């Protein structure tokens, strides 16, 4: 039966809304997976919806979709030197070999893309079934909201607006389908005036409420972030009890790792003549989980303007002043590289620790710590000679505690350190090589998806070889351990990054430093030069001041050779064992199996074709088995009757737009030479109007219903 113009318009509107909702599925998928060609995927989705709207048969719709997928794969992935046939043949051979060998993770990108297209195909088919047959969008709507909310919670994707759009569109679709079901149930002919009279208020109310809900002010989240609790519950968070921390400076670094949330609260306003890292303290003892001090504090008191004996040697330049305004209470003083003394009020004393170089202001009783609102200090910016840095090959003149490593440190960490640094001579070049290693070896800066190592796992080993995801603590700790592994004395430094420059006046820069700027980095000791800062964290730049005191003609951009990607030793050993054992993990010889695969493929195609051709015989039987129970209860009788109408429609017995149910039932009975359709229709109408109070002989009804469905077997 041909559809009326009104039905076609209604389905076009519904399918357009489906397209808009599906688009909200694809946006986060493409964004999070960094998949390109978004418009081409949307075009395929649109093609599937148009084909479904036109109701083209399989022998037309399937070739169109398969041709589009093939065109996409060939145009995006094919090598210009190969023909289309060669490319597809090579892909087929490779992927079959990989799948038969069980190495599913090694399947090619074209196959992954093809499977993604097939997934889109299946999803659209399912949605079309819900909309056109079941006349409901409820399950798809709930699934969409859950999908977007999950991505919003566990990833960086912000799904706020997506959920609002999906809910508005979904509620409008739900209303349209409900009105359609209601008209079918009451046998009401569609009148566009009445239809729009019911639908328009719903659309207006849903849209107005959605827009108002978007614009109105909202309270902050009342529940804590569920991500860390789920990770801990599942065991992926390492030690139990770990939760998301708030970024900021803290004293306890015994257990590093785990996610944190940002905090843009300004803690310092600093006026400085040059960009600086704001040093607070150092730590020397790595426990495999974090950092502690190796010994008790050795403190000394200093008064204002007295020289504080920092281990960072001041430069030979003119003294400059830095003014600090503290907006949060911190009972320590910041340092710049080359700090010499502080300018405080006369009653203030400075307690300086030789162990960690932390400076704490105290009262005259020498015990009470004080948090100062404002203070200033003098510094002379250190300058490092490039020529001297390139000549020094030792790091031995300082305290040996800066070479400490845990006894249980995995050997592969030490092996990696030597692999990176052994081809260099000077301490500086070795340190630069290790510093640069993180920037070009697949590491990523991450603050949320960061794990805490398990009880028997080393913090550095986990970061270097397992996750490669982390923030400054991961990068800086790993660099210190790698440096110590090749005999370079190093220590872990805590403080704040430079902050954001907000004002410039007469050569003085004002920086705002927030809790987000809390940071850690590395200092290494070079004989004859002293301690020098290094910055391994991706996205950060340490303000080193190097004097390139060589001829310009000899100076070339400092480059480090590319590190060759070496296979992991344990993987090499495993491969050798497999080969010596006769190939326990063997690869299939595709040439020997190709005829078997061809035969299996032909058999599968023939089987699918036979099932499709014989669907008129097995499909009604399957429908009977799945829906017989619906006739036991008047509540579900309507569903069973609609299933019968669908099966009759398959053999071209479809109710006309101007035909009552009784007229349609008599036409069916006449066509099938029976009276059972009229009997069932009478019961159906009584169920609709009498509700659950109607009693009928379920056995007789089932027999009539099953008889009519079986008659549809061609």
Q: What is the pLDDT of residues 353-404, one digit of tens each?
A: 988 999 999 887 677 788 889 999 999 999 999 899 999 999 986 677 899 9
Q: How confident is the model at residue 567 (pLDDT cuts 50, 70, 90)?
A: very low
CA angle (237, 243, 248) in 5-degree steps: 120
Q: Which is nearest to 536 in space by CA: 572, 483, 486?
A: 483
- Residue entry with tokens 């340190």: 431
For residues 402 and 394, what is the distance between their CA atoms, to the nearest angstrom?
14
Question: Which carries the bigger pLDDT value, residue 550 or residue 659?
Answer: 659
Q: Which of 39-43, 62-66, 510-514, 690-694 has the lowest mean pLDDT?
A: 690-694
pLDDT in the model for residue 615: 66
Q: Which is nearest to 519 in space by CA: 539, 547, 502, 501?
A: 539
Asked whether 499 and 510 are in contact (CB, 8 A), the reply is no
Q: Is the pLDDT of residue 707 over 90?
A: no
> Helices marked H in 55-187 — which ranges?
58-77, 84-100, 109-129, 138-154, 160-185
> Helices marked H in 354-471 — which ranges?
386-391, 411-421, 427-437, 459-462
Q: Which is nearest to 476 in space by CA: 529, 387, 538, 422?
A: 538
**Averaged pLDDT for residues 466-486:** 94
- pTM higher than 0.75: no
Q: Copy the structure tokens of residue 262.
A: 């940002």
For residues 124 and 69, what is the distance between their CA atoms, to the nearest angstrom?
15
Q: How confident is the model at residue 597 (pLDDT cuts 50, 70, 90)?
A: low
**Averaged pLDDT for residues 534-550:** 84
Q: Terminal CA-to-CA distance of the chain, rounded, Å?
A: 19
**Averaged pLDDT for residues 78-90:** 79
For residues 165 and 366, what is the distance between their CA atoms, to the nearest angstrom?
63
Asked whether 28 and 151 are in contact (CB, 8 A), the reply is yes
Q: Is the pLDDT of residue 318 over 50?
A: yes
Q: Is the pLDDT of residue 417 over 90?
A: yes
From its phi and psi, is residue 216 left (phi > 0), alpha (psi between -120 and 50) or beta? beta
Q: How confident is the model at residue 576 (pLDDT cuts 50, 70, 90)?
A: very low
pLDDT in the model for residue 549: 74
User: How far from 365 is each of 303, 348, 362, 677, CA to CA, in Å?
Assistant: 13, 10, 8, 102
**Averaged pLDDT for residues 553-565:** 47
Q: How confident is the model at residue 554 (pLDDT cuts 50, 70, 90)?
A: low
Which strands make up the sheet holding 530-534, listed edge to edge?
Answer: 278-283, 490-496, 518-526, 530-534
Q: Which is nearest to 280 in space by CA: 361, 356, 358, 338?
A: 358
Q: Is the pLDDT of residue 699 over 70?
A: yes
Q: How confident is the model at residue 476 (pLDDT cuts 50, 70, 90)?
A: very high
Which tens digits make up the pLDDT trace of 281-310?
Answer: 999 999 999 999 887 767 888 888 889 999
Mean model confidence pLDDT for the chain: 82
pLDDT in the model for residue 447: 87
For residues 162 and 21, what is the distance between their CA atoms, to the nearest angstrom?
9
**Averaged pLDDT for residues 687-705:** 73
Q: How confident is the model at residue 518 (pLDDT cuts 50, 70, 90)?
A: very high
pLDDT cut 70: percent of the chain above it: 82
For residues 631 and 684, what is the distance between their CA atoms, to the nearest angstrom?
11
Q: Is the pLDDT of residue 692 over 80?
A: no
Q: How confident is the model at residue 578 (pLDDT cuts 50, 70, 90)?
A: very low
Sign of CA dihedral 452, 457, 461, 464: negative
Report the greatest alpha carbon distance in the chain: 113
pLDDT in the model for residue 220: 58
pLDDT in the model for residue 693: 58
Where in the chain are the domains? 5-215, 258-384, 615-711
Q: Is the pLDDT of residue 629 over 60?
A: yes
Q: What is the DSSP annotation of 180-228?
A: HHHHHHTTPPP-HHHHHHHHHHHHHHHHHHHHHHHHS--PPP-SPPSHH
pLDDT in the model for residue 132: 83
Q: Which is nearest to 493 in space by CA: 313, 312, 331, 341?
A: 312
pLDDT in the model for residue 218: 65
């Amino acid at each position: 039966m041909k559809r009326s113009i009104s039905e076609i318009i209604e389905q076009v509107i519904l399918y357009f809304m489906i397209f808009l909702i599906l688009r909200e599925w694809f946006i986060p998928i493409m964004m999070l997976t960094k998949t390109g060609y978004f418009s081409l995927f949307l075009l395929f989705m649109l093609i599937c919806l148009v084909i479904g709207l036109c109701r083209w048969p399989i022998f037309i719709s399937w070739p169109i979709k398969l041709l589009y997928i093939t065109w996409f794969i060939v145009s995006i992935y094919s090598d210009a030197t190969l023909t289309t046939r060669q490319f597809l043949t090579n892909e087929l051979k490779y992927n079959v070999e990989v799948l038969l060998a069980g190495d599913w993770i090694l399947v090619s990108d074209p196959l992954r893309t093809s499977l993604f297209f097939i997934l889109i195909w299946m999803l659209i088919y399912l949605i079309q079934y819900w909309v056109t047959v079941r006349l409901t969008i409820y399950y798809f709507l709930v699934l969409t909201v859950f999908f977007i909310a999950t991505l919003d919670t566990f990833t960086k994707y912000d799904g706020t607006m997506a959920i609002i759009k999906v809910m508005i569109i979904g509620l409008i679709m739900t209303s349209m389908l409900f009105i359609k079901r209601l008209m079918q149930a009451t046998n009401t002919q569609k009148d566009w005036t009445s239809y729009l009279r019911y639908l328009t208020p719903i659309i207006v109310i849903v849209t107005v409420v959605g827009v108002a809900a978007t614009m109105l002010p909202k309270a902050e989240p009342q529940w804590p972030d569920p991500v860390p609790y789920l990770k801990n519950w599942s065991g992926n968070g390492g030690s139990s009890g770990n939760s998301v921390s708030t970024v900021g400076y803290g004293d306890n670094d015994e257990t590093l790792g785990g996610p944190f949330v940002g905090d843009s609260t300004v803690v310092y306003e600093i006026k400085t003549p040059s960009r600086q890292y704001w040093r607070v303290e150092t730590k020397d003892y790595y426990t495999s989980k974090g950092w502690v001090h190796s010994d008790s504090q050795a403190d000394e008191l200093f008064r204002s303007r007295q020289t504080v004996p920092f281990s960072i040697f001041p430069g030979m330049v003119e003294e400059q002043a830095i003014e600090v305004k503290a907006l949060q209470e911190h009972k320590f003083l910041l340092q710049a590289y080359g700090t010499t003394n502080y300018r405080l009020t006369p009653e203030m004393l400075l307690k300086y620790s030789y162990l960690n170089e932390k400076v704490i202001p105290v009262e005259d009783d020498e015990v009470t710590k004080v948090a100062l609102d404002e203070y200033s200090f003098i510094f002379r910016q250190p300058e490092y000679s490039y020529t001297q840095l390139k000549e020094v090959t030792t790091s031995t003149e300082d305290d040996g505690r800066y070479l400490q490593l845990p006894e249980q440190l995995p050997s592969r960490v030490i092996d990696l350190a030597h692999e990176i640094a052994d081809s260099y001579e000077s301490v500086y070049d070795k340190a630069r090589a290790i510093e640069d290693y993180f920037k070009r070896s697949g590491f990523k800066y991450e603050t949320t998806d960061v794990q805490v190592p398990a009880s028997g796992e080393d913090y550095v080993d986990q970061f270097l070889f397992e996750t490669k995801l982390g923030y400054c603590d991961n990068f800086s700790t790993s660099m210190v351990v790698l440096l110590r592994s090749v005999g370079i004395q190093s220590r872990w430094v805590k403080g704040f990054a430079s902050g954001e420059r907000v004002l410039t006046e007469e050569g003085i820069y004002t920086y705002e430093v927030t809790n987000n700027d809390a940071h850690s980095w590395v200092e290494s000791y070079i004989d004859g030069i002293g301690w020098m800062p290094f910055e391994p964290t991706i996205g950060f730049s340490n303000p080193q001041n190097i004097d390139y005191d060589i001829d310009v003609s000899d100076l070339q951009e400092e480059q480090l050779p590319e590190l060759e990607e070496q296979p992991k030793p344990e993987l090499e050993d495993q491969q050798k064992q497999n080969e010596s054992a006769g190939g326990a993990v063997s690869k299939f010889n595709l040439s020997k199996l190709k005829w078997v695969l061809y035969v299996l493929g032909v058999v599968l195609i023939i089987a699918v074709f036979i099932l499709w051709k014989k669907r008129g015989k097995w499909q009604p039987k399957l429908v009977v088995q799945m829906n017989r129970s619906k006739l036991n209860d008047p509540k579900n009788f309507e569903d069973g009757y609609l299933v019968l109408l669908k099966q009759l429609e398959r053999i071209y017995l479809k109710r006309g737009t101007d035909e009552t149910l009784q007229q349609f039932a008599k036409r069916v009975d006449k066509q099938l030479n029976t009276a059972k359709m009229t009997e069932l229709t009478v019961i159906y109408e009584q169920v609709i109007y009498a509700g659950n109070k109607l009693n009928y002989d379920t056995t007789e009804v089932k027999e009539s219903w099953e008889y009519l469905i079986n008659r549809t077997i061609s």
